[in-house]
A and B are shown apart, each in its own frame.
Chain A
Amino acid sequence: MSGKSVKVLLFGAAADLAGEREIEVNVGDDSSLDELWEAAIREYPRLSPMHGTLAFGINGEYAERNAKVSPGDEVAFLPPVSGG
């Protein structure tokens, strides 16, 4: 398994809890968003309570948790939106 580093953008409460707006997460080849999330909370355990409410984005569109992450993708951790 060679693995790879994926850029993750954090917003709102997620950025607040992690103390970062952008992180790099190392995941194995052919990983899903769920696997990327598990790797992310090992490094940023304060994000862990957000698991149930967080949505994910890949390249600017909402993505399911089982979606695959490819090298060069822009992943986003999206807390419940609260615009308006």
Chain B
Amino acid sequence: MSDSGSIISDTFSIVEEKIDVEAMISAAQRPDSGAINTFVGTTRVDESDGASVEYLEYEAYRPMADGKLSEIGAEIREKWDVRHVAITHRLGKVAPGEASVAIVVASPRRGPAFEASRYAIERIKEIVPIWKREVWSDGYVWVGSQVGTRGE
């Protein structure tokens, strides 16, 4: 259900600096859309065995990861009437509470904006070749593989 009558402004980015969520929201504001849904994934400090997460570190297989983000955007445009989709994923070291990923979807109505935003984060976790390493006070763990130095 793409809006073929207008220029598509979708953006898919992988960055190594802080994500500018406000700029992403500004870029999504359009007169044809009554809803902008924003999802921001932030780094959480987990605790276990008297240790805690100090920071997260992300790496990606590029340009495959860039291509997969675009694919997710295309899937969203197939499924919902959305007028702007932007996804930014950060790489490198991300401090606690900072954004590692941001998704901004504009749609004429709120339903598709919410649904598409949820869909985007779930698909990122399924198909985009990006990996997260949790660096704890007592070692590190590759999330998803459970490979690392904690508990050694």
Which residue numbers of A lie inside 8 Å of B, CB to CB?
9, 11-13, 16-17, 50, 53, 57, 60-62, 76, 78-84
Contact = CB atoms under 8 A, between A and B. Distances in A.
Contact of B126 (A50, A57, A81): A81
A62 B127 CA distance: 9
Interface residues of B, number: 29
Nearest to B41: A84
B128 interface: yes
B131 A79 contact: yes
Nearest to A60: B64
A12 B59 contact: yes
Contacts of B129: 11, 57, 76, 78, 81, 83
Interface in B60-91: 60-61, 63-65, 67, 89
Q: Which of B58, B100, B126, B129 has the most CB of A within 10 A?
A: B129
Given A9-B61, A12-B131, A12-B133, A79 B145 contact: yes
Interface in B25-55: 41
16 contacts: A11-B61, A11-B131, A12-B144, A12-B145, A13-B147, A61-B64, A76-B64, A79-B145, A80-B145, A81-B130, A82-B125, A82-B142, A83-B60, A83-B65, A83-B100, A83-B130
